[in-house]
Amino acid sequence: MNSKITAIGVYAPSKRVTNEYFEKIIETNNEWIISRTGIKERRFAEPDEYTSDLCINAVKNLLAEHPEINLDGVDFILVGTTTADQIMPSMASQVQNAFNIPNTGCLDIMAACAGFVYGIVLAKGMIAAGTHKKILVFGAETLSKFTDFTDRTSCILFGDGAGVALIEASDQLKIFKPVTGSDGSHGKDLYLSQHASVVNGEQIIPNGKIHQNGKVVFKWAVQTMSQKVRELLAINNLEAGQLDWIVLHSANLRIIEAVASDLNYPMDKMLTSIECFGNTSSASIPLSWDLASKAGKIKPGNKLLLLGFGGGLTYAGIIVEA
């Protein structure tokens, strides 16, 4: 059985945080942030607004924008997140409860910024196995609650948001073969720990804040991601020219520009959300999709290559038809 993405819904908290905010708390400026990252503003959740709330609002928006869709028969919920409200219950179970969806499996996916694409990969596999038919896949984060606001190299990057895709069984091939992979030797270069203090044999700081070796992650992403786009195209017998859009994780606009340049792919066909939402980790790909969709760019039948990467370091990519 094949599968398709029936609809996307997103939600971002209403609190806008411009680069000027950071000029007051760290040594930085608007020009540096824009030129080194592409970010103009991001959204922060309120103190009493959590990742599960963002997921629930994303579903409400999906239902409001697609009156033909309902949640009847949803048989699995997958939530990619690194910033769950708590370790248990899962965010997926919180969504199940909010919408009172009966008899549905619930699972959170810990794959950092690649979590949303990992969710699509898993949903495709479950539908192909014939065990499930209608799956909600989320990428949702409240990174601002885990940001070290004294670290000027990372705090300017992160924002909060959520996206959800409804994935359903289909008689047409609309979700193609994926690539997945990881390089755990870089675990210490991007981590968030509440209690354990050793990663890759090295001492880390378990203070519940995101720590990033930005230069190393940047270099790894630029070197690895264009290679993964080529692999995805090859295993699906496609050429880059047959893609309508590439949606790389919005980590840094310069990473997206470098990958586009390496692939000789036009930058205006790279969909991004970094400019107005910052780096929202697993939420960035659905946010980019939604922005482009609302701008009238994505048409039914368009082919999109989605590629997420992040803490692990891990990545997942898949080509889908809108």
Q: Does 37 bind ligand COA (CB under 6 A)?
A: yes
Q: Which stretch binds ligand COA (CB under 6 A): 76-84, 95-103, 160-168, 211-219?
A: 211-219
Judged by CB under 6 A, the chain residues 59 through 118 that form the site for ligand COA are: 113
Residue 101 or residue 139: which is nearer to ligand COA going by CB?
139
Report in angstroms how near the CB of residue 219 gets to ligand COA at its nearest: 9
How far apart CA 57 and CA 52 sit, in angstroms, is 9
Closest Cα to residue 221, out of 251, 198, 243? 251
Residue 71 or residue 192: which is nearer to ligand COA going by CB?
192
How far apart CA 93 and CA 138 sit, in angstroms, is 12
Name the residue number minimizing CB distance to ligand COA.
Answer: 214
Report in angstroms how near the CB of residue 247 gets to ligand COA at its nearest: 15
| CA dihedral sign, ordered 299, 271, 287, 138 | positive
Active site residue 155: no
Q: Say which residue the tokens 């038919």 belong to.
A: 133
How far apart CA 68 and CA 54 sit, in angstroms, is 22
Letters for 263-292 (x = contact with ligand COA by CB under 6 A, - = none) are ----------------x-x-----------
The neighbour count for residue 152, using CB atoms within 10 Å, is: 15
Q: Does 256 bind ligand COA (CB under 6 A)?
A: no
Burial degree of 65 (CB within 10 A; 0-12, 13-18, 19+) = middle
Q: Which two structure tokens, joined as six digits, stand for 178? A: 């994926």
Letters for 5-34 (x = contact with ligand COA by CB under 6 A, - = none) are -----------------------x---x--
CA 238 to centroid of chain Cα atoms: 24
Q: How many helices and strands (H and E) does the chain possess? A: 9, 15
The catalytic position among 19, 113, 155, 186 is 113
Active site residue 249: yes
Contact footprint for ligand COA (CB under 6 A): 28, 32, 36-37, 113, 152-153, 156, 214-215, 217-218, 221, 251-252, 255, 279, 281, 310
Catalytic positions: 113, 249, 279
